Structure 1
């Protein structure tokens, strides 16, 4: 350290300048309050640096590691149409809820819509991006059941269900034609598997409310039933969902009492979405791999008690239809 000529007492404003504010040899008349200030600032800086290091060494319980995130989403690499597959929970979703779509951010991703208000009954376009933790638009998505993005839209009374497949522009903006036929608040769910720069895959379901202005007259939820009719086809199911247990639900399609053959749609013989009344928690379960026929089976785990509305998408004779059911989980 080179020697310095005698210096006048250190002024407070010199702290934080080119020098530390503490001279090599303190003159007898130095300002002691300035010295204390410099030492205090130095201590605070040291504390911040130590805290930052400890925070990186010990991430909080809500911060998944790369290893755990990869393990949690490894199932999303399976080929379309094979095996049971649950899209309900992202890595950041609350473990006790078991349902996805409850927030606009989850699993390190955020849903960013360009607009959330639509004219009632008027055709519009819903545009949005999925952004990562650094607020960058995500542009790489895994193809899950023939599509990189599944968008489900439903009114908050669980009516008006739509299952759509947006297309993505090079900048990561997704768009899809959308019509909200009735006034009220609607819920849009983006169901996807994002691919990070290092190849990690993260499955998430993000939700956002859309608004169709006007008088909202909610419809009562239909009573529970195990059969329904869609375009002359009778659709029924056997089995009862339970909380915390993966149990099979077996759906069949018939016409005039005779079985009707199901066709592959998006790589499977059916897709099942369940929404919980109240908070609109989302559960998307894909079917167990089975031979072609009139039956499709899902293994469903109810995330909690309550009433759910189930939507079964299936294809017959080249036409995709949706059968809806209300089920009560005790």
Structure 2
């Protein structure tokens, strides 16, 4: 997956976009990230840090690098199971892409998130011979959603891309407030504790520790080639951050290295497998420009994570 947001994950991921011994995730859209390089060159650790342009965020564009995300299912109904169809089109030829590199065990990772970031899905659609992707989807709440396709075309020199487009879910819409910042999340009887935090323009570590019934979980199972998969989305524009794992496992801790492209509020979604089932823990975190930003916390909403 891309390099928009680096974390030690969906990446996520998501993913995402952001080895069996670590967790994974994904990146953010067309905004320059400010990474910091010591002044003086040769790794000198003196003088004021000077920001330099870093990788752009992902998922904010429907077209990028000669490829376009073509959504064939423009709207869904809340609580209704519908087959979502889409394709990736090569702009130069107008044809659907039919050859992809495998990333984290899959040709393409699909992430759906509500604009209020209380509903989240990481899905793996099936590709037909003509390049059309399809996956059954049932979203519980109406409103505006963002759809992200994280993939790498099987073309020499191709880079990983995260394309995004809006998706409408019809029904009575009641937007929810972003869940509060808390250091722990509870999901399906598991408690996940988050330590560390995001820093704007600088790499930092996030460590997520899984326990159940007060005991650490030391037998996490591989999921998408890792012991955890982390996707990060920026509140507001839903920029998709690429998160990268550190080695480790099989629990109880899964760690990631990440660089936030800007100060602000982010939502983290950690997918982990235990007992043959994938579970998702969600956290709200604040990325600041200070040396030690506040650690994130899970919101009270339970993310939807079927389809793994």
What range describes the TM-score normalised by the shorter chain of this pair? Answer: 0.7 to 0.9
Report the TM-score when normalising by structure 1: 0.71
How much does 1:206 deviate? 0.7
Q: 1:109 to 1:82 in 2, by over 3 A?
A: farther
Report the TM-score when normalising by structure 2: 0.76
Q: Which runs of 5+ in 1 are unaligned?
A: 1-79
> In the aligned structure 1, how far is the partner of 2:251 from the partner of 2:120?
26
> In the aligned structure 2, how far is the partner of 1:85 from the partner of 1:179?
25
Deviations 1:34-81, CA, capped at 9 Å, x for gaps: xxxxxxxxxxxxxxxxxxxxxxxxxxxxxxxxxxxxxxxxxxxxxx44
Q: Tell me the residue number matched to 2:151.
A: 192
The question of 1:306 aligning with 2:264 is answered: yes
Which structure is higher in strand share?
2
SS in 1 for 2:250: coil
SS in 2 for 1:247: strand
Of 183, 198, 202, 2:142 maps to: 183
Of 173, 185, 196, 2:132 maps to: 173
Deviations 1:223-276, CA, capped at 9 Å, x for gaps: 101111112211011101101111111111012321102111110000111111
How much does 1:103 deviate? 1.3
| Aligned 8 A contact 2:111 2:120 in 1 | yes
- Which aligned pairs between 1:274-285 and structure 2 lie closer than 5 A? 274-285=232-243
The question of 1:249 aligning with 2:186 is answered: no
The question of 1:209 aligning with 2:154 is answered: no
| Aligned 8 A contact 2:24 2:230 in 1 | no
> In the aligned structure 1, how far is the partner of 2:65 from the partner of 2:146?
19
Runs of 4+ in 1 over 6 A off after TM superposition: 82-86
| Aligned 8 A contact 1:129 1:173 in 2 | yes
Q: RMSD between aligned alpha carbons?
A: 1.8
Of 26, 32, 41, 1:95 maps to: 32
| Aligned 8 A contact 1:116 1:211 in 2 | yes
How much does 1:213 deviate? 1.9
Matched residue count: 247
Q: Which has the higher contact order (CA 8 A, sep 6+)?
A: 2
Q: 1:230 to 1:86 in 2, by over 3 A?
A: closer
Q: Which runs of 5+ in 2 are unaligned?
A: 1-18, 34-54, 289-308
Which structure is higher in helix share?
1
Q: 1:245 to 1:81 in 2, by over 3 A?
A: farther
Q: Tell me the residue number matched to 2:231.
A: 273
